[in-house]
Amino acid sequence: MTTHKTLREGNAVLEPQRTRVKPPRLYRVVLLNDDFTPMDFVVVVLQQFFAKTREEATVIMLKVHREGKGVCGIYPRDLAATKVEQVAAFARQNQHPLACVMEEN
**Which is nearer to ligand TYC, 27 or 29 (by Cβ)?**
29
**Which is nearer to ligand TYC, 29 or 42 (by Cβ)?**
42
Q: Which residues bind ligand TYC (CB under 6 A)?
A: 31-35, 37-39, 42, 61, 64-65, 98
Give me the least distance between CB of 102 and ligand TYC, in Å please.
15
Chain centre to alpha carbon of residue 55: 19
Give bridge partners of residue 74 from the DSSP assignment.
Answer: 28
Sequence-distant (6+) residues with CB within 8 A of 38 are 96
Give me the least distance between CB of 65 and ligand TYC, in Å please.
4
Give me the least distance between CB of 17 and ligand TYC, in Å please.
42
**Which is nearer to ligand TYC, 32 or 71 (by Cβ)?**
32
Give me the least distance between CB of 9 and ligand TYC, in Å please.
49
**Which is nearer to ligand TYC, 37 or 52 (by Cβ)?**
37
User: Among residues 50, 18, 3, which one has the least CA distance to residue 31?
Assistant: 50
